[in-house]
A and B are shown apart, each in its own frame.
Chain A
Amino acid sequence: MEKTISNQRKASNILKRFGLLLVLVLMVIVMSLVSDVFLTTGNIINVLRQVSINGILAVGMTFVILTGGIDLSVGSVVAVTSVIAGNLLQKGYSLPVTLGASIGAALLFGVFSGVLIAYAGLPPFIATLAAQTIGRGFALVYSDGRPYMIAHDTYKAIGKGSWIGIPVPIWIMAVVILIAAVVLRYTTFGRHVYAFGGNRNASKLSGLNIRTTEMATYIISSFCAALAGTILSARISSGQPTAGQGYELDAIAAVAIGGTSMSGGIGHLSGTILGFIIIGVLSNSLTLLNVSSFYQDIVKGFIIIFAVLMDLRTKRSGN
């Protein structure tokens, strides 16, 4: 008896994520019918490389949103990372020093938001909005508004190179996903993130250090943004102060499409992965279909609504 119930439970869980998968499968079927290139290895790798930056950001964002927060600063942190890296490489610093400084600066932004939110009690929306404008402003002041050309070959390989036929950014994304999955599922910290998002008072009374947990998620998100910024600047061989504008929205969209509750406590990394792949496949498809990028944004908005509605429906029927 108990067995059958838990099986039913499992079935309904699969059903919950089934909706999203269905959206993705539908898109793939339609696209493979109308386009010859879509299902080629080259294009698939292309899609994965294109989603890698948003994918990495979305993984970090998942942690934050699971606690019931939000991180609007990631786009600016991408820019901060890339201008610092660009500048230091131009000045001839070594790769480790450069990465240490650019990623370190990004982490400081995470600490900044985290302290404001977890210790000073600012709402995440406000604190990270402030971090967003401060970060953007910093990147512009630091670079005087001009991009830094990057000539360092090893650094560029982070964005352009590949290993056994697969581009480096995809490898980085895969490693990030793997680590995040392990952290969320197998560590006590992962449990704390869910617990905190579900009920912070009960978590505190149970002896969890809720402040460190909350702060850590913003540092994780900033770290992911630093990786994304490194990949981006390496790929375009330049450190741009205007890089990453609006990236936070795509990351949030991926998490939302993935079914993570915006009020925290409920959600899965697998949903986020489906979320950013759906967004990626969508842009790729529209490009293959020669839709202008202006229209792409409109279509993207509607697809987000559609995907989340599908997800809601299957969730309800699962109950």
Chain B
Amino acid sequence: MAEECILQTKGISKSFFGVNVLNEIDFSIRRGEVHALMGENGAGKSTLMKIIMGIYHADAGEILFEGKPVVIRETKNALDLGISMIHQELNPIPEMTVAENVFLGREPHVGRLPIVDFKKLNQMTQDLLEKYEMADRISPQMHMSSLSIAQIQMMEIIKAVSYNSKVIIMDEPTSSLSESETKQLFKTIDLLRASGVGVIYISHRMAEVFELSDRISVLRDGSLIETIDRAHATTDHIIATMVGRALSSGYPRNHAVPGEVILEAKGVSGAGFEDVSFQVSAGEILGFAGLVGAGRSETMRAIVGYDRMKSGEIYVDGRRAAVRHPSDALKLGIVMASEDRKSLGLILCRDIKENISIQNERRYSRFGFMNHRQEREQCEGIAHEMSVKMNGIADIAGNLSGGNQQKVVLAKCLLTHPKIMILDEPTRGIDVGAKAEIYKKMVELAEGGMAIIMISSEMPELIGMSDRILAMSGGRVRAEFDNRERQTSQAEILRAALKGVE
């Protein structure tokens, strides 16, 4: 048993600021297996993996690699042993190209000169991209700053694979991928598994976990509750172990009767989208489907005034609205929760309270002076309402688990009490329990008269939640589906989303 384990942790414990995050974790990964790690937001999954990678150091416990105890002080030690990781929060260097990022610090040289052989570098990257069938989505010479999150994610996957590691950790690798890219990743994982690599797979998506994994481990509040063979596991059992209670599955129904049209876009165009028109009514949940790069986020960013709109008109409550800056949108009652919480959603070095309050300062300031008590009360209230797992609202946002950061993004948008809320991948990185709560919240808000626009790459979620679905591809709206009966088929949507894409 011990021989076939490549990597083992024994009694790993860790606390931050005196708060226990991991309690004596015994976890192992075998050769050629996919081991799924599940647990609620803040359960400690990423922390455990960061300890294995040498980013954090355990307070107690040891790590065995191929049966021998090892000391992993920094990431380099882990990489040298043959452990690599795709992080939940992506860290590309924006000024560099894809190839430069993939082989950062390992660039091939011209002979023995200290000069990078760019031709070879690009070729090596191209080979990898072709081997794992991603060459049609990204190319070695693309600049990181021009990539979408999904493309960055693919770069990170290629990078992790390029180390020829024996263990690859994937921390929510699919959270920003759409269906077809996810399929691609699964093929990659199968290839890795077949060649004897052990894959640790962290995800909140039950279906993926069941499709891929050989074994499943569940963390709850920093303790490893159980490790079970996939063959013996059921979804309900896993969920119950994760959250400590049973959850009703399925999507809540929006019973609101759509009212007046609140927001209308007429022929808007800009960088990445062309001639997009749509309407959304009070009480309606409008879904946007599409592959990565379809122009959905770009359209929405322009509508809230973050990016420039080249042409087109926007009407709010039937009146022509000039939105030149997100503050204009805010005044009109339009907010957007971005999919990119790291660069557009949060100020990671500040605390939860400040993150929530910057978008809401009008609510508790007069003549430019803050009312600290009101601020604290309101921010605390909404953070609890969104069940952000925290020690208090003075916690630094960057120290929160990924899913909890996402909840803070939603909290700050919600507190503005918008009329129109644009949610870009709202459940990205969020655990099953919290997901159900967010769905419930969306329906509650819609029934209270809010218009909700949801961009999602998760087809079931899109079909389960939207009253109407627009499919985009190549920056244009290709089809519209009435989804009041929640009957639209995935295939139909996908066909529209692929239109105009070679």
Q: When the two chains form their complex, are residues B349 and A207 in contact, meaning their CB atoms are under 8 A apart?
A: no
B415 → A minimal CB distance (Å): 11
The residues of A that contact B329 with a CB separation of less than 8 Å are 207
B18 touches A8 (CB 8 A): yes
8 Å CB contacts to A: which residues of B287-327?
301, 304, 306, 325-327
CA distance A9 to B396 in the complex (A): 11
Q: What number of B residues sit within 8 Å (CB to CB) of A?
A: 35
Nearest A-chain residue to B375, judged by Cβ: A191
22 contacts between A and B (CB under 8 A): A5-B19, A6-B391, A6-B394, A9-B391, A12-B17, A186-B370, A187-B368, A187-B369, A189-B368, A191-B357, A195-B354, A198-B347, A198-B349, A202-B346, A204-B326, A205-B326, A207-B359, A209-B327, A261-B349, A265-B347, A265-B349, A319-B17
Q: Is the CB of A188 within 8 A of B412?
A: no
Q: Say if the beta carbon of A206 comes within 8 Å of chain B.
A: yes
Pick from A4, A12, A188, A199: contact of B368, CB under 8 Å: A188
Q: Which of A6, A194, A205 contacts B306 (CB 8 A)?
A: A205
The one of B344, B350, B391, B412 in contact with A265, judged by C-beta atoms closer than 8 angstroms, is B350
Interface size, A (range): 20 to 34
The SS class assigned to the A binding surface is: helix
B282 at the interface (CB under 8 A from A): no
In the complex, chain B residues whose CB is within 8 Å of the CB of A6: 391-392, 394
Pick the contact of B350: A8, A9, A194, A204 (CB < 8 A): A194
Report whether B412 and A206 are in contact in the complex, using a CB–CB cutoff of 8 Å: yes
Q: Is the CB of A201 within 8 A of B343?
A: yes
How many angstroms between the C-alpha atoms of A8 and B392 in the bound complex?
12
Contact partner of A195 (CB less than 8 A), chosen from B301, B327, B347, B391, is B347
Residues of B within 8 Å of A5, CB to CB, are: 17-19, 391-392
Residues of A within 8 A of B361 (CB): 188, 191
* Bound CA–CA A191/B349 (angstroms): 13
Asked if A9 contacts B347 (CB within 8 A), the reply is no
The yes or no answer to A46 lying at the interface (CB within 8 A) is no
Q: B-facing mask of A1-24, CB < 8 A → 1, else 0?
A: 010111011001000000000000
The answer on a CB contact under 8 Å between B347 and A208 is no
| Distance between Cα atoms of A9 and B17 in the complex (Å) | 7
A2-B392, A5-B17 known; A188 vs B370 contact (CB < 8 Å): yes
Taking the closest CB of chain B, its distance from the CB of A95, in whole angstroms, is 30
What residues on A are CB-neighbors of B349 within 8 Å?
198-199, 261, 265-266
- The answer to whether A192 has its CB under 8 Å from any CB of chain B is yes
B330 at the interface (CB under 8 A from A): yes
In the complex, given contacts A5-B17, A205-B345, what are 18 additional A-B residue pairs having Cβ atoms less than 8 angstroms apart? A186-B370, A188-B369, A191-B358, A191-B370, A194-B350, A198-B350, A199-B347, A199-B349, A202-B344, A202-B347, A205-B301, A205-B344, A206-B359, A207-B327, A207-B359, A265-B349, A265-B350, A319-B17
B348→A199 contact, CB < 8 A: yes
A143 on the interface (CB 8 Å rule)?
A: no
Residues of chain A contacted by B358 (CB below 8 angstroms): 191-192, 195, 203, 206, 208
- Identify which of residues 331-379 in chain B touch chain A, using a CB-to-CB cut-off of 8 Å: 336, 338, 343-350, 354, 357-359, 361, 365, 368-370, 372
CA distance A90 to B368 in the complex (A): 41
> What chain A residues lie within 8 Å of B330 (beta carbons)?
207
State the Cβ distance, B38 to closest chain A Cβ, in Å: 26
CA distance A5 to B394 in the complex (A): 11
Kindly list chain A residues whose C-beta atoms are within 8 Å of the C-beta of B391.
2, 5-6, 9
Complex alpha-carbon distance, A208 and B327, angstroms: 6
B354 in contact with A194 (CB, 8 Å): yes
Cβ–Cβ < 8 Å partners of B18 in chain A: 4-5, 8
A265–B329 alpha-carbon span in the complex (Å): 25
Distance of A261 Cα from B329 Cα, bound (Å): 32
Question: Does B350 lie within 8 Å of A195, measured CB to CB?
Answer: yes
Which B residues are in CB contact (< 8 Å) with A201?
343-344
Q: Are A199 and B346 in contact (CB under 8 A)?
A: yes
Write the nearest CB–CB distance from B362 to chain A, whole angstroms: 9
CA distance A90 to B391 in the complex (A): 63
The answer to whether B326 and A206 touch across the interface, beta carbons within 8 angstroms, is yes
| Alpha-carbon gap, A176 to B338, bound state (A) | 39
CA distance A191 to B19 in the complex (A): 29
Alpha-carbon distance between A204 and B307 when the two chains are bound, in angstroms: 10
Which are the 6 A-B pairs with shortest beta-carbon distances? A198-B347, A207-B327, A206-B359, A207-B330, A199-B347, A265-B349
Tell me the chain A residues, 80-101 only, with Cβ under 8 Å from chain B: none
> Chain B contacts of A261 at CB under 8 A?
349
Distance in Å from the Cβ of B71 to the closest Cβ of chain A? 20
CB of A118 to closest CB in B, whole Å: 14
| B19 proximity list for chain A (CB < 8 A) | 5
Q: With the chains together, A9 CA to B370 CA distance in Å?
A: 23
A202 with B345: CB separation less than 8 A: yes
Which residues of chain B are within 8 angstroms of A187 by Cβ–Cβ distance? 368-370
Contacts of A203 in B (CB 8 A): 347, 358
Please, which residues of chain A bring their CB within 8 A of the CB of B345? 202, 205
Quick one: which of A179-195 are within 8 Å of B by CB?
A: 186-189, 191-192, 194-195
Roughly how many angstroms separate A5 CA and B19 CA in the complex, as a whole number? 8
**Are B394 and A9 in contact (CB-based, < 8 A)?**
yes
Chain B nearest CB from A319 CB (Å) reads 8
Residue on B nearest A196 in the bound complex, by CB: B347
Which B residues lie within 8 Å of A202 (CB)?
Answer: 343-347
CB-CB contacts below 8 Å: B1-59 with A: 17-19
| Interface hub of A6, A206, A319 (most chain B Cβ within 10 A) | A206
Most A CB contacts (10 A, CB to CB) among B19, B329, B347 go to B347
> Chain B 254-289 against A: per-residue CB contact (8 Å), 1 yes, 0 no?
000000000000000000000000000000000000
Q: A161–B338 Cα gap in the complex (Å)?
A: 57
Q: Which residue of B lies closest to A199 (CB)?
A: B347
CA distance A8 to B359 in the complex (A): 29
Contacts of A188 in B (CB 8 A): 361, 365, 368-370
Minimum CB–CB distance for B280 against chain A, Å: 20
User: CA separation between A202 and B370, bound complex, in Å?
Assistant: 20
The digit string for B232-256, where 1 denotes a CB below 8 A from any CB of A, is 0000000000000000000000000
CA distance A6 to B349 in the complex (A): 18
**In the complex, which residue of chain A has the Cβ closest to the Cβ of B397?**
A198
Nearest CB of A to B466, in Å: 24
Residues of A within 8 A of B357 (CB): 191
Say how far A13's CB is from chain B's closest CB, in angstroms.
10
Chain B nearest Cβ from A189, distance in angstroms: 6
State which of B343, B346, B369, B412 has its C-beta within 8 Å of the C-beta of A186: B369
Over the window 206-244 of chain A, the binary record of Cβ atoms lying under 8 Å from chain B Cβ atoms (1 yes, 0 no) is 111100000000000000000000000000000000000
From 213 to 229 in chain B, residues with beta carbon under 8 angstroms from any chain A beta carbon are none
Instruction: List the B side residues contacting A2 at CB < 8 Å.
Output: 391-392
Q: Find the A residue at minimum CB distance from B364.
A: A188
